[in-house]
Structure 1
């Protein structure tokens, strides 16, 4: 169950968040070759000066992303996902890519639990809830 966490230093409309979550889930499913029902997304909004990246001005909009995913994806797939997520953040939240920072944390499938079961290791084309 990937947990895709987005921290931004601005407030955004409910409709923007809804669209963002849909785009993020669809993108993750497509790039990582998995279903969507197990994808968790968090959006955390902070005050302007509560987030920073060294190369950005303190007045700039910032997005920090922490993606907890199951291990097994190639660096090429992770890089593709990172760049596509950065575009989605830019298009939905208006935050330029140089002011975004993304970290992957990989876990064994058994580290992800839903009420039905824990997840198995990732396999291409899977639906982990079946």
Structure 2
């Protein structure tokens, strides 16, 4: 059950958040070859100066991403997802890609729990809730 966390120093409308969450799920499912029902997304909004990246100006719009995923995805898959998310954030929120930063944290499947069960290790083409 990935937990995909997005921190922004801008305010975003509910409609854009809905669009964003849909694109995040679709892209995760496509790139990581899994279903969508187990994907958790957090969108957190902060004041302008509450987020920084060393190479950005203090007044720039920023997006920090923490992507907690199960072990087993290649660096190529993680990089593809990172670039897709950066593009989506640039497109929907107009945040420059140079002002975005992504951290992946990988966990064993048993670190992710839903009411039905904890998840197994990742397998290509899976539906983790079956």
Q: TM-score range by the shorter chain?
A: over 0.9
The alignment's TM-score, normalised by the length of structure 2, stands at 0.99
- Give 1:38 deviation, angstroms: 0.1
Aligned-residue CA RMSD in angstroms? 0.3
- Give 1:92 deviation, angstroms: 1.1
Alignment of 1:1-130 (within 5 A): 1-130=1-130
Q: Which runs of 5+ in 1 are unaligned?
A: none
The alignment's TM-score, normalised by the length of structure 1, stands at 0.99
1:25-73 alpha-carbon deviations (Å, 9 max, x no partner): 0000000000000000000000000000000000000000000000000
1:81-129 alpha-carbon deviations (Å, 9 max, x no partner): 0000000111111101000000000000000000000000000000000
Q: Which runs of 5+ in 2 are unaligned?
A: none
Task: Provide the C-alpha distance between the structure 2 equivalents of 1:89 and 1:120, rounded to a whole number of angstroms.
Answer: 30
Task: Provide the C-alpha distance between the structure 2 equivalents of 1:29 and 1:61, rounded to a whole number of angstroms.
Answer: 27
**Misfit runs of 4+, over 6 Å:** none
Task: Provide the C-alpha distance between the structure 2 equivalents of 1:92 and 1:60, rounded to a whole number of angstroms.
Answer: 16
Secondary structure of residue in 2 paired with 1:57 = coil
